[in-house]
Amino acid sequence: MKSKKIDYANLGRMIDVSTVQTFCGKAENDLLVDIVRKYNCVCASPMPCFTKYVIDKLKDRPDIVTTGVVAFPAGAEDTFIKVATAKDMISLGCEELDMVINVGALKCGMYQVVEDDIRAVVDAACGVPVKTILEICYLTDDEIKRGAEIGVKAGATFIKTGTGWGPNPTTVDTIRLIRSTIGDAAYIKAAGGVRTLNTLVEMFEAGCDRFGIGYRTAPAILEDAMKRAEAQV
């Protein structure tokens, strides 16, 4: 069982900063690069059309991973398209993938379809970690549990809560539900609703390992963490 103490001085190593909103362009992705550099974040997550741009900007920082997003935001693409996108993202240099599952198939009980869809991307990734996004804001607790179980069975490295596009935020209770369902079989990434450092800490203590935070919110959280780190010295 991991320690429940956060290293505030190095909080960036638990944070993926994203620019996955529809309107994000070059300026927003330049800001993304500045943020992950300044705070030594583990990961930058742009939309596919800016993935190579961000990778090129971070070539001198091999410690910062660029994530390739797959099937944002709906997850409803055909598996062939998801696999093609995954391969394209990896060919550009992505070292992680964030994939939205087939939410509609999960909700209507087509569990094998969901599993096969995830496994196809995992297989195409050839060892690159895949985070499967449940988009929990559209799911019941039972569906969240089933989706998490399917993700683990299909070989996902992380179970991720959402894209951040949905109407309702991830909660601490959601993290507890997923962790109680999958045990230590996979990591958990929270995204959508991580707006303060206090929320992040509560989610960490509930069993969350990684946090996806938008480029507009991340700096305030990271600055707050630096202040707490200084206060501990």
CA–CA dist 81, 97 (Å, integer): 14
> Does 56 participate in catalysis according to the annotation?
no
Q: Which two tokens stand for residue 181?
A: 């369902």
143 burial level (CB within 10 Å; 0-12, 13-18, 19+): middle
CA–CA dist 135, 10 (Å, integer): 28
Catalytic residue from among 189, 209, 224, 227: 189
CA–CA dist 49, 35 (Å, integer): 20
CA–CA dist 3, 59 (Å, integer): 32
> Does 87 participate in catalysis according to the annotation?
no
Catalytic residue from among 16, 57, 82, 98: 98
CA–CA dist 205, 199 (Å, integer): 10
CA–CA dist 4, 201 (Å, integer): 9
Catalytic residue from among 160, 209, 224, 227: 160
Residue located via tokens 């989706």: 147
Q: Across-strand partners of 191?
A: 212
> Does 38 participate in catalysis according to the annotation?
no
Report the catalytic residues: 98, 160, 189
